[in-house]
Amino acid sequence: MATRNRTTVYRKHRDACKSARAPLSDSFGGPVIEMVSGSFARSNHSSYAPLSTNDPGPSSDDAFTIGLPPAWVDDSEEITFNIQKVRDKMGELAKAHSKALMPTFGDNRGDQRVVEMLTHEITDLLRKSEKRLHNLSTRGGPSQESNLRKNVQRSLATDLQSLSMELRRKQSTYLKRLQQQKEGQDGVDLEFNMNGKMSRLDEDEELGGMGFDEHQTVKLKEGQHVSAEREREIQQVLGSVNDLAQIMKDLSALVIDQGTIVDRIDYNIQNVSSSVEEGYKQLQKAERTQREGAMVKCATILLILCLIMIVLLILKNVLF
Amino acid sequence: MGLVTSVRDYINRMLQDISGMKVLILDPETVSNVSIVYSQSELLQKEVFLVEMIDSISASNESMSHLKAVYLVRPTSENVQKLRYQLANPRFGEYHLFFSNLLKDTQIHILADSDEHEVVQQVQEFYADFVAGDPYHFTLNMASNHLYMLPAVVDPSGLQRYSDRVVDGIAAVFLALKRRPVIRYQRTSDTAKRIAQETAKLMYQQESGLFDFRRTESSPLLLVIDRRDDPVTPLLNQWTYQAMVHELIGLQDNKVDLRAIGSLPKDQQVEVVLSSEQDAFFKSNMYENFGDIGMNIKRMVDDFQQVAKSNQNIQTVEDMARFVDNYPEYKKMQGNVSKHVTLVTEMSKLVEARKLMLVSQTEQDLACNGGQGAAYEAVTDLLNNESVSDIDRLRLVMLYALRYEKENPVQLMQLFNKLASRSPKYKQGLVQFLLKQAGVEKRTGDLFGNRDLLNIARNMARGLKGVENVYTQHQPLLFQTMESITRGRLRDVDYPFVGDHFQQGRPQEVVIFMVGGTTYEESRCVALQNSTNSGIRFILGGTAVLNSKRFLMDLEEAQRISRSGSHMV
C-alpha cells in the first residue's frame, strides 16, 4: 500500500516560518544566530527536551513543557509491570510442571514445593493487580479523562483475564496428569504385588486369609503415604483454581465482548456524547425534583408558620 | 489483497511506531472508515486509550500532555482550520498527523505556520479514504448522492464537489492497491465521463510520480458506469441475507439499527453488528437465500441448546472448572445466536405484514420474464390489494414502466392514474421522471435481455428450463458486464477508453465504480464471480449502498431540484 511522507516538506516550512517570525520578536543582533541554531537543534529533539539552553527566547511558549502525568498513570504502569512479571513466572511454572511430572523413583516433594510456591506467587500477583485495577475506576462525570481511564482499565482487564485463563488451563492439565500418574503409580505398585504374590495370595485365600507379612505392610503404608500426599496437592491446586475463577468473574465484567456492538469505535464515540447529554438531563431533572420536593414545601410552610407565631407572640406581649 | 486488509494495514502501520499512550482523533468520515475494519479492543491492544472526534477536541481545554495525538482525517479545509487552532494551543504532548488523501502544498504551509510549539512529529498521507465493508466491495457513503442525475448547469459547484470526492475515493483505492489502471467509462453518462477524465488527469498528469507503480503484465481496468443503466436492481426486493437486511431494515457501516422497527422488548440489543470478518456464521450465510438461512439458524440454535444443557449439568469440580474455562466462548455464542434469531424473526414479520412474497413474485416476473398482458393484470391486482404498502405499489409500477415503456401506452397511463389515486403520498410524476432518467433510450446495456438476439434466445431457454427459485432469478446487469470483460468483449462503442488509453488482452484486476451507488445484490454477484477463479479479480465500489428506499429518495430529491430549477428558468 502506498503512502507518502510529507514530514520533510512540513519541517522545512515550519523552520522557514520560525526564522521569519524570530527576527521580529527579538531585538538583539547577536543572539539571532544562536536563535537559528537553537531552532535547528530543537527540531531534531523530540518535544520532551523543552527548555533549550541556547535560547534566550523571549516567548516562553517556544519550548513546550510536558506536565507530569496524573497519579493514576502510576497505577496502570505498575499493573503493566506486574503483568510482565506474571508472564515470566508462567514460563518458569511450565518448566516446573514438566519437572514435577517426570516419573522418578525417588520423592519429588522438592519439585512439588517449587510448583506450589510459583503458583502462589502468580495468584498473588494477579490478585494484587486486580485490586489495583479497581483504583482506576473514576467517580467523576463523563469527560475525556474518565473515558481514557476506563479504556486503560479495560485493556489491562483483558490482559489479566487472559493470563488467569492461561494459568487455570495449565493447572488443570497438570492436575489431570498428576491424577493419571497417581492411579498409574498405585496401579503399578499393586501390579507388582499382584504379580509377585499371585500364587501366594491364592494360597492365602484358600488358607482363610492370613495377615500380610512385614514386607508387604511396609509397602502398603508407603503407598498410602504417597497417595495422601497426592491428595493434598490436588486439593491445593483445586483451591487455587477456585481463586482464579473468582478473579475471572470479577474481571469479565470489565472486559469488552468482541464482535458485538460494544466493540465498535463509532458506537463508543456516539455513546460518550449521548451519555453526557443524558447525564445532564438527569441532573436537571434531579434538581427540579429536589426544588419542588414535597419535603421542601413542608419545611417552608412550617417555617412561615413559626415566624407568624413568633410575631403573634411578640404582639401579644407588647399589647398586653 | 482485499480492501479490508489494506485499510487495516494502514492503521497498523500508523500506530505501531508510536509508543506510549495515544489518543486517536477522527473526523466524521474517517470514523466510518476505521470502525468498519478495526475494533475497539484491537485499538486498546495498541495502547490507543481514547478516541475522539476532531470537533470535540477543541471543545475542551483540559491538557493531557502525557498522551500522544494521532490524527487520521480527510485533508479538507475545515479539518485544516481545526488543526490550526489545536496546534496553536496544543493539548497533547505530540502530534502525528495522517491524512487520508493528497495534501495540497498550501495546506502544509498553513499547518506549518501555526505549529509554533513544534509539537507535530510527522505528517503523512495514508490513503484510507473509503469504507471497505467487504473485501471486494467499498463505498464512499456520500450524502448528496442525487447530484449525478442532474445536468451540470443546475448546480455546477455541487457537481464539482461530488466529482472531486469520487475521484479522491477512487484514487485512494488504487493507491492502496498500488496500481495505475486503464480507464473506461459508459458513453451515455456525462457524470461518468467527467469522473473518468478527471481521474485520468490525476493519475497520469497531476500526480503521475505518485502513481508510477511497478508495471504488471496487464494493466488493471477501472470502469466507471452509471446507476441509471440498471435502475431495476435497487428497486427489487431481496431474499439473500445481507441484501435482505439492508432492504428491509437498513445496514449502515455493517451495523443494523433495530430501533427502526420499533417492536422489540426493552432489554433486547438495539444495534447489532453484521460483519463477515468477525462473524463466521454471517460469513457463510450472507449470500444464502432466506429459506436456507432459516435452516442454518435452526441448526445453530440446536447446537447452542446442547451446549447450554451440558453447562447446566455441573456436578463435579472438574465440570465447574470446565464451565468457567469455556464461559467467554459460551457467552459469545449466545450473543451471536440471539442476534441472528432476532434479525430473522423481525424480517419474517415484515415479510408477512407487507405481503412481500406475493409482491416479490410479480417483481421478479417483471424483471425477468415477458408477457405484457399478464404483467399488466398482475400489477393491477396488486395495486388494488389493500395490504400492499405505498412504497411497494410505487416499485411495481416503476418496474412495469421500465420494462413496457413503449408497449401499450394506454395501459401504462391507467397504471399511473391508479397509483396516484391509491397512494396519497406519491409525488406526482416520479415514475415519468425515472423514465426520463433511465428509460430505454438512455440505457446502454441490455437490461431486460431483449435487445440482441443472443440474449433473447438465452432468456427463452431459461424460461423453458424453469428456475430453481422464483424469488432469486434476477441477475443484475453487472453480471453481464463482468462476463463481457472476462471474455474480453466489452464493446468500445458503449464503453470507450479515456484519451489514448489502450488495453491489450484481458485485465487481471478490475475495479468497477458505479456512480449513483451499488446494491448488496451486486456485491453478492461480484463475490460469487470472484469465487469462480476465472483469473480476474473484480472489485465493486459506489458512491453509496442503495436499497429501494434510498434510491427512491435520491430520485425524489433530483426531481424536486429539477422542478425548481425549471421554474427559475
Which residue in the set B41, B124, B275 is minimally distant from A6, CB to CB? B124
Which chain A residue's Cα is nearest to B52?
Answer: A269
- Chain A residues inside the 8 Å CB shell of B177: 1
- Tell whether A290 is covered by a domain: yes
Chain A neighbors of B327, CB-CB under 8 A = 248, 252
**Using the 8-state DSSP alphabet, how is residue B204 labeled?**
I
Q: How far apart, in whole angstroms, are the C-alpha atoms of residue B225 and residue B292?
A: 33
> Among B78, B68, B82, B64, which Cα is nearest to B14's?
B68
The answer, yes or no, to whether residue B468 has pLDDT greater than 60, is yes
Q: Answer yes or no: is A159 within a domain.
A: yes
Domain tally, chain A: 2
Distance of alpha carbon B409 from alpha carbon B404, whole angstroms:
8
Q: Are residues A167 and A298 in the same domain?
A: no
In a domain, A11, yes or no: no
Separation in Å, CA of B170 to nearest CA in chain A: 14
Between β-strands B271-273 and B255-257, what pairing exists: parallel, antiparallel or unpaired?
antiparallel
In a domain, A54, yes or no: no
Query: How do residues B83-138 score in pLDDT, each as one tens digit?
Result: 999 999 899 999 999 999 999 999 999 999 999 899 999 999 999 999 999 999 99
- Whether residues A9 and B64 touch (CB distance < 8 A) is answered with no
pTM assigned to the model = 0.79
pLDDT tens string B138-177: 999 999 899 999 988 888 999 999 999 999 999 999 999 9
**Whole-number pLDDT of residue A142:** 59
Contact A4 B125 (CB under 8 A): yes
Q: What value does the mean pLDDT take over residues B544-554?
A: 94
Q: Are residues A237 and A302 in the same domain?
A: no
Share of chain B above pLDDT 90, in %: 60
A24 contacts in chain B (CB < 8 Å): none
Q: How far is B7 from chain A (nearest CA, A)?
A: 9
Structure confidence at residue A61 (pLDDT): 40
Q: Do A245 and B41 touch (CB under 8 A)?
A: no
Whether the complex's predicted ipTM is more than 0.90 is answered with: no
pLDDT for position A45: 40
Would residue A301 count as lying in a domain? yes
Q: How far is A283 from chain B (nearest CA, A)?
A: 20
Angle at B153 between CA B447 and CA B556, to 5 degrees: 50
With vertex at residue B449, the alpha carbon angle to CA B448 and CA B452, rounded to the nearest 5 degrees, is: 135
Q: Determine the pLDDT at residue A24.
A: 62
Of B21, B34, B332, the CB nearest to A265: B34
∠ CA B326-A242-A85 to the nearest 5 degrees?
85
Cβ–Cβ below 8 Å for B62 and A168 = no
Which residue in B44, B93, B118 is closest to A42 by CB distance?
B118
Please state, rounded to an integer, the average pLDDT across all residues of chain B: 89
Same domain, A173 and A306: no
Give the H or E element holding residue B396. Answer: helix B390-403
Residue of A259, A265, A273 with shortest CB distance to B38:
A265
Query: Is the sign of the CA dihedral A313, A317, A318, A320 positive or negative?
Result: positive
CATH number for the domain harbouring residue A122: 1.20.58.70
Rounded to whole angstroms, how far apart are CA atoms A258 and B69? Answer: 25
What CA–CA distances, in Å, run from B554 to A130, A210, B234, B260, B513? 54, 101, 12, 20, 18
For residues A96 and A165, state if they share a domain: yes
Q: Which residue has the cell 472476462?
A: B486
Best of B118, B256, B268 to substitute, by most chain A Cβ atoms within 10 angstroms, is B118
Q: Are residues A251 and A304 in the same domain?
A: no
pLDDT digits (tens, 9 = 90+) for B242-269: 999 999 999 999 999 888 776 666 556 6
Confidence (pLDDT) at B249: 92
The backbone region for B89, taken as left when phi is positive above 0, alpha when psi lies in -120 to 50, beta otherwise, is beta
Question: What would the mean pLDDT of B307-312 be, rounded to a whole number?
Answer: 82
Position A292 scores a pLDDT of 73
Q: Is B44 near chain A, with CB under 8 Å?
A: yes
Output the pLDDT for position B283.
93
Mean pLDDT of B398-420: 89
Q: Are both A152 and A237 inside the same structural domain?
A: yes
Q: What averages of pLDDT result for each successive group of 10 residues across chain A (320 residues)?
A: 91 90 57 42 40 39 53 83 89 86 71 84 87 72 74 85 84 82 59 43 42 71 82 77 70 69 86 70 83 82 96 92
Instruction: Report in angstroms the alpha-carbon separations of B234 from B99, B440, B520.
Output: 34, 17, 9
Contact B93 A62 (CB under 8 A): no
Cβ-based contacts of A67 with chain B (< 8 Å): 63, 65-66
For residue A87, being part of any structural domain is answered with yes
Cell of B456: 433473447
Can you give the residue range of the structural domain that contains A100? 71-184+224-258
Position A191 in a domain: no
In a domain, A31, yes or no: no
Query: What pLDDT band is residue B563 in, cutting at 50, 70 and 90?
Result: confident
- Top pLDDT among A138 and B15 is at B15
pLDDT at B290 over 60: yes
8 Å CB contact between A38 and A52 = yes
Residue A203 burial (CB count, 10 A): 11
Nearest Cβ partner for A10 among B6, B112, B336: B112
Chain B residue numbers touching A266 (CB-CB < 8 A): 31-32, 35, 253, 255
Range of weakest confidence among A129-133, B161-165, B336-340, B492-496: A129-133
Name the nearest CA neighbour of B129 among B76, B171, B86.
B171
- C-beta of residue A176 within 8 angstroms of C-beta of residue A139: no
Residue B32: which of A245, A262, A266 has the nearest Cβ? Answer: A266
A199 or B325: whose pLDDT is higher?
B325
B47 touches A: beta carbon within 8 Å: yes
Return the closest-CA partner of residue B231 out of B21, B531, B493, B477: B477
* Span B469-482, average pLDDT: 89
What's residue A176's pLDDT?
Answer: 82
CB of B239 closer than 8 Å to CB of B471: yes
**pLDDT in the model for residue B462:** 67
The C-alpha of B3 sits at a distance from chain A's nearest C-alpha, in angstroms, of: 10
Q: With an 8 Å Cβ cutoff, are A151 and B44 in contact?
A: yes
Task: Give the list of residues 6+ apart from residue B226 with CB closer than 8 angstroms, or none.
Answer: B148, B186, B188, B189, B191, B192, B514, B515, B516
How far, in Å, CA of B187 to CA of B183, rounded?
12
B362 burial (CB, 10 Å; 0-12 / 13-18 / 19+) is buried
Q: Tell me if B44 and A70 make a contact (CB, 8 A cut-off).
A: no
- Which residue in chain B is spatially nearest to A170 when comparing CA positions? B325
Question: A68: distance to nearest CA of chain B, Å?
Answer: 7
